[in-house]
Amino acid sequence: MPYRAPVAEYRFLLDHVVGFPQVAATDRFAEATPDVVAAMLTEAGRVCEEVLSPLQRSGDTQPTRLENGVVRMSPGFGEAYHALADAGFLGVAGPVEHGGLGLPMSVATALNEMMSGSCLASHLTPLMAQGQIEALAHHAPQWMQALYIPKLASGEWSATMNLTEPQAGSDVGALTTRAEPLGDGRYRITGQKIYITGGDNDFAANVSHLVLARLPDGAPGTKGISLFLVPKFLPREDGTPGTPNALRVVGLEHKLGLHASPTCTMSYEGATGWLVGEEHKGMRCMFTMMNNARLGVGMQGIGVAEGAFQHALAYAMERRQGRTPVGDKRGAILEHADVRRMLATMKAELFAARAIAFDCAAAIDMETATADPAWAARAALLTPIAKAFGTDTGLKLADTGIQIHGGMGVIEETGAAQYWRDVRVTAIYEGTNGIQAMDLVGRKMTDGGEAAQALIDEIEGGTEAARDRLPDLAGPVWQAAETLREATEAVVATTDPTDRFAGSVPYLKGFARVLGAHYHLRAALAEGGTGPRTALAQVYVRRLLPEHTGLLAEARAGGADLYALSDEDLAA
């Protein structure tokens, strides 16, 4: 089934659920008028439907390959990248003075979902460009911004970020890549990096690598890491690519999915690089790109969820099997109660995950526009939830889509299984979802839970506004918010990190469950308390929200029972 961009859904969320009008009302984003946003979303939807969507299956069956040290892309992917660049999507939130459009992150977030839903493999390299533009805009010297950002925004050059090493994994502080100063502002970079998305391609004139490495006087761990920009080709004085740098692709990963996206092992062999930001402050610089990417990866999961839902719904509307409870008793399987349950909960889950991510993006925009610490705290709190819940939703809905297809779901020709294979890695990269949860209960609670409690206050305030018109929805949401408040207080009071981290994943999931109900309640109110959004909110509150009780109970269970099982017990 061809992908259809849910533009109307995005506009409803922005206008009525996550408060985008206040973003557009700021001086910083005054250009983001309703007409501009509508035009951008509509054009993005057209490109995704007409250019990217046809590559979904062909990219899976015709993967990238490494030939004589050069990555050869799947047919059509280079043209798709340039189509995205020509429409301004790579630099949509980038600085106007360097070729970006300067639009809000909220708009970029909607675009990222569309690109992911139409063909996830084609979205990974554009996401790297967006993230690198933001990192350079915040931390790079002016000469570097002026040279690289316009090239990235135009699609002339592509981008990567290089963190992971074979011996380090998620422990970035264990990296061994070295950076030696040459005394003239340049550095010699030596080391190996793995899992590098878009490490090379055959459609960009140059590849701009951001590489974490340690200077000779760098302290052990993450505090001694610096960030360097290392191009594939050394730019000439006029900015055009010159001589090849001392780096190469030594292998491509053979992945479960995303076959059209090259995941490279990179070797830096005394390559020339330039410092980005301050010495030994590389993680702070890279986190700018990583936080951008974490929200973007959450949107990848949500985009795939949308694609899988559309695919499953189309199949369920056409497939006839068994006796159905309505009409001539031989209707489509959509009429069976369990199939309808799966599709209804898919749609409700999708709305919740999308609303969390859009709210996160709006908070980032308000932080950018106002520099208000309260908006910064809200954005920081929502980022790990948006990433983890968004990708978990992608996994869950892709799996449910296979179930709806029945036996045909595991037949590759139907395309149902590809959604699951492609989205599976999103729960792992840019910080596994377990790491996101640890970040939520750890770093994001160093304020004593103030940002979390402020969000819970907002949820309860929303239930009070809805209590007279929608009591059957408002009551359960208020009670769930109270349970979340108590769990948050317990997390903050837990001083043993093992106990806190043992419950971190269920806490994040429980938080997301309650947030989803909050946004569904807002949507129901926005349509007047009757209609399809209210009906969908009832599905969520009755069938999905009750999960928060068990999740938040587990969040408070501590870790003693886990460690009561010895290594030998687990292996027995």
One DSSP character per residue, 236-281 reads -TTSSEEEEPSEEEEEE---SS-TTS-EEEEEEEEEEEEEESSTT-
168-182 pLDDT tens trace: 777 787 899 999 999
Q: Structure tokens of 542?
A: 């009755």
Per-residue pLDDT at 492 exceeds 90: yes
- Give the confidence band of 324 by pLDDT, cuts at 50, 70, 90: confident
CB 475 within 8 A of CB 482: no
14-70 pLDDT tens trace: 999 999 999 999 999 999 999 999 999 999 999 999 999 999 999 999 999 999 889
298-309 pLDDT tens trace: 999 999 999 999
All structural domains of the chain with their residue ranges: 434-572
Question: Is 0.85 topped by the overall pTM?
Answer: yes
Q: What per-residue confidence (pLDDT) applies to 2?
A: 84
**Range name among 130-134, 272-276, 474-478 with the lowest pLDDT average:** 130-134
Average pLDDT for residues 548-571, to the nearest whole number? 96
- Catalytic pick from 430, 489, 527, 554? 430
Per-residue pLDDT at 326 exceeds 90: no
Average pLDDT for residues 396-410, to the nearest whole number? 97
Residues 6+ apart with CB under 8 A from 544: 345, 348, 349, 352, 513, 516
- Give the confidence band of 537 by pLDDT, cuts at 50, 70, 90: very high
Please say if 458 is a catalytic residue: no
Per-residue pLDDT at 387 exceeds 70: yes
- Give the confidence band of 325 by pLDDT, cuts at 50, 70, 90: confident
| Distances, alpha carbon 203 to alpha carbons 70, 72, 88, 99, in Å | 11, 9, 17, 20
DSSP secondary structure letter of residue 544: I
| Orientation of helix 337-370 relative to helix 373-405, angle to 10° | 160
Exposure class string for 485-510: b at 16+ Cβ within 10 A, else e:
bebbebbbebeeeebbbbbbbbbbbb
Number of residues assigned to the chain: 572
DSSP secondary structure letter of residue 541: I
Average pLDDT for residues 530-535, to the nearest whole number? 96
Q: What per-residue confidence (pLDDT) applies to 283?
A: 87
Give me the percent of the chain exceeding a pLDDT of 90: 92
Distance CA 505, CA 439 (A): 10
Tokens 């035009």: give the residue: 39
Average pLDDT for residues 445-458, to the nearest whole number? 98
Average pLDDT for residues 526-552, to the nearest whole number? 97
Residue type at 230?
V
Q: What per-residue confidence (pLDDT) applies to 291?
A: 76
Average pLDDT for residues 80-101, to the nearest whole number? 92
Average pLDDT for residues 146-164, to the nearest whole number? 95
Measured CA angle at 89 (ends 54, 415), to 5 deg: 25
- Give the confidence band of 110 by pLDDT, cuts at 50, 70, 90: very high
Distance CA 320, CA 304 (A): 26
Tokens 């290392």: give the residue: 230
Q: What per-residue confidence (pLDDT) applies to 173?
A: 78
How many Cβ atoms are within 10 Å of 464's Cβ, its own excluded?
A: 10
- Give the confidence band of 328 by pLDDT, cuts at 50, 70, 90: confident
- Domain 434-572 belongs in CATH node 3.10.20: no
Phi, psi of 72 (to 5 degrees): -105, 120
One DSSP character per residue, 405-424 reads HGGGGGSGGGSHHHHHHHHG
243-291 pLDDT tens trace: 999 999 999 999 999 999 999 999 999 999 999 999 999 988 877 777 7
Per-residue pLDDT at 1 exceeds 70: no
